[in-house]
Amino acid sequence: MLSHQESTTSARAKKYPLLVESPHPRYRFHSQYDTVSWLHEIPGHKTLKDGYAHEPLWINPIDCEARGIKQGDMIRIFNERGSVFTAAYVTERMMPGVVRIPNGAGYDPVEIGKSSRGGTINTINPLNTTSRNAPGMVTNAFLVQVEKWEGELK
């Protein structure tokens, strides 16, 4: 039986056990309005840390406990494609094994094409496009791993 490579039952899920669901954001249109500072005050929309508005990753407390992550901690979301640095938004609204980060956040590369601290998932989502005429993201969910991050982001 064939399975999708982003499935939680695939071989990749052993290394990248969390499934990212990536809906459209509630308070912006793709990256438009991503820098509107008063929108950053809405709980769960952005996490302000060291003067930077991070796109939060919604994650269940059970997944956080397994990784030593607490509310507001800086985290790295990654897979073999790249990584995104952001802040943890710990909530029971996410079921264990599933995390959430809206698509369309502004791109702020740490390493161009490999990592971003702006919250854009384009460095970690599958690269297939909708068609040769429409460069949209094909999937709405994909596999990642999450770890607490204590390094510097330049």
Find out whether 57 and 100 touch, Cβ atoms under 8 Å: yes
Q: What is the 3-state secondary structure (H, E, C) of 71-119?
A: CCCEEEEEECCEEEEEEEEECCCCCCCEEECCCCCCCCEEECCCEECCC
Domains of the chain in start order, with CATH, are 37-125 (2.40.40.20)
pLDDT in tens, 44-96: 777 878 888 888 999 999 999 999 999 999 999 999 999 999 999 999 999 99
Take residue 30 and report the two structure tokens written for it: 């793709």
Which of 126, 109, 127 is CA-nearest to residue 118?
A: 109
The predicted structure's pLDDT at residue 43: 74
Does residue 100 surpass a pLDDT of 50? yes
In this prediction the pTM is 0.86
